[in-house]
Amino acid sequence: MCHVLIIEDEPLVAMAIQDILALQGATSFEIVDTEEAAVSAVAANEPSVITSDVKLLQGTGPHAVAKIHQRLGPIPVIFITGTPEECEPCNPPGSIVPKPFTEQAVVAAFHKVAPLA
């Protein structure tokens, strides 16, 4: 089982990421569009992997990820963003996939971090 938290404020982008990762073996998803929603989401269902944009409707993906890591410990993260230079704090474990992204780039990053057998 691989639950993915997708932190993305563009619904079509979030759905595209979900579709790509579902084909790669991810089994469940939660999509959120703000820093606060991301932090709240992990209380109900701890993710195996996080994908995150940098800029959100409210707050930032990197700050949400930092708060989640502080609460739950390190969870693999893939930052998928049009502003990789603004990814602060952008700490491991994880990688950065620039937008516009290709399916192959997302798949490669996911296989690098996904806890799949």
Mean pLDDT of the chain: 93
Q: What is the CATH number of the domain that holds 14?
A: 3.40.50.2300
**Cα atoms in the Cβ-side hemisphere of radius 13 Å centred on 115:** 13
Size of the chain, expressed as the number of residues it contains: 117
Ranges of beta strands (E only) in the chain are 3-7, 28-32, 49-52, 77-81, 94-98
Quick one: DSSP state of residue 59? S
Number of domains the chain is built from: 1
**Closest Cα partner for 17 from 61, 57, 51, 46?**
51
pTM of the predicted protein model: 0.94
Question: Residue 93: what pLDDT?
Answer: 54
pLDDT tens sequence across 3-24: 999 999 999 999 999 999 999 9
Domain of residue 86 covers 3-113
